[in-house]
Amino acid sequence: MGEVFSLKILWTVLNDVRNALSDRNDNTIEALGAVRTAFNHTYNYLRNNQGDYTPNMELAELWNVASTKVMRVDRQLGELLGNKSRFWAHPDIYFELNRTVDIHTLEQITDEMERLQRRIR
């Protein structure tokens, strides 16, 4: 009887771990998709507007969504993407305060997307 009880506990623990890993994996996939969407829209915007940094609430919202989803799997990266969202809402403030160094470039975002993708199991 004790062995059956121990096996049930072990089975429950293994299922809980598997479900937790699956949830984390799903969160990472969702986060990666949101970052890719924001990246693609930003790249397209900059290409078609010759790199013109004017306020763009659509891009700000896309980066905000990406930030929120990434926070579930990587708080620091989520905060950096939040900066990108605020930048697109008010880019002039970042230029005036010389804070553009706080904003990841699209090349850096590409590196972060690859890092997120490697976390998917």
Q: Is residue 106 pLDDT above 80, yes or no?
A: yes
| Cα–Cα distance, 45 to 57 (Å, whole number) | 12
Select from 43, 111, 55, 52 the least CA-distant residue to 86: 55
Domain ranges of the chain: 28-118
CB 87 within 8 A of CB 94: yes
| Cα–Cα distance, 69 to 67 (Å, whole number) | 6
Confidence of residue 36 (pLDDT cuts 50, 70, 90): very high
pTM above 0.85, yes or no: no
Q: CA 7 from chain center: how many Å?
A: 39
pLDDT tens for 64-100 read: 999 999 999 999 999 999 999 999 999 999 988 888 8
Report the pLDDT averaged over residues 27-51: 93
Tokens representing residue 90 in the block: 């008010």
